[in-house]
Amino acid sequence: MNNKLIIKLIKNNIEEIKNLIVHFQNEENDLHDGFPLLESRLNSLNKDVEILKSSLNKNEIVPDVTLNLADSENHSITTNQKEQEVVSDIIETVTENTVHAEIECQAKEETIDKVEPTVSTLNDKLQGARSNNLQEKIKNSKLTDIQSAIGINDQFLFIRELFDNNSEEYKSSINYINSRHDYNEIISHFNKSQKWDNEDSTVIQFFDLIKRKFE
């Protein structure tokens, strides 16, 4: 997976997190049931950032043989600085959105606590979530039916942009995805059966949902 695709996945995760926060602001009664989804997207976002960071660290700087030693060192330093700037910008964006999410959710919880003292606070939920081990987090974030994670607006978007307004073909594809247990097999299937542009944002969003089935 190239860095450009990973960055687009990170962008999609951030947008989804923002949409969830806006939804919880308007529908605070959904916060209790919807918090696991918010946590799952934050975990997925963090995982994508780590993947990008690992990818950048694996890239080796090979100096041009025509450059002298001084130029080679300057070229390597400049490239490393650019890579670090990309990672820093992404981490800063993720951190800012996560902090805002925690602050806004905590404000909602404090309002609910005044009416229902027995309801656990956001901090209690976060502490409980942090106490789970990595295996439990991965298990809880998996999707057995990706349709459950697709909002009505995204469903219409996928049907229109990816399946030429053919809702039956869309449903058949969802059933196919749910019945398979190998991510690469599914992606290979769509690459062969559909003429999609893998750089298209809608395609990336659809593949990201498929990826969550195997997280």
Which pLDDT tens digit goes with each residue over 26-39?
888 877 777 878 88
Same domain as 135, residue 36: yes
Tell which of 108, 141, 174 closes a domain. 141
Do residues 137 and 150 share a domain?
A: no
What was the pLDDT predicted at 53? 86
Domain check: are 147 and 137 in the same one? no
In this prediction, the residues of the chain whose per-residue pLDDT falls under 70 are 1, 59-143
Are residues 197 and 179 located together in one domain of the fold?
yes
Identify whether residues 14 and 91 lie together within a single domain: yes
- The verdict on 133 and 161 lying in the same domain is no
CA of 120: how far to CAs of 30, 35, 36, 124, in Å?
15, 13, 15, 6
What's the confidence (pLDDT) of residue 139?
A: 46
* Spatial distance between the Cα atoms of 19 and 23, rounded to a whole number of angstroms: 6
Domain boundary among 110, 141, 172: 141
Q: What is the pTM of this model?
A: 0.37
Q: Are residues 175 and 97 in the same domain?
A: no
What is the extent of the structural domain holding 153? 143-215
Domain count, the chain: 2
Using CB atoms within 10 Å of the CB of residue 14, give its burial: 0 to 12 exposed, 13 to 18 middle, 19+ buried.
Answer: buried
Q: Which of 107, 141, 175 is the last residue of a domain?
A: 141
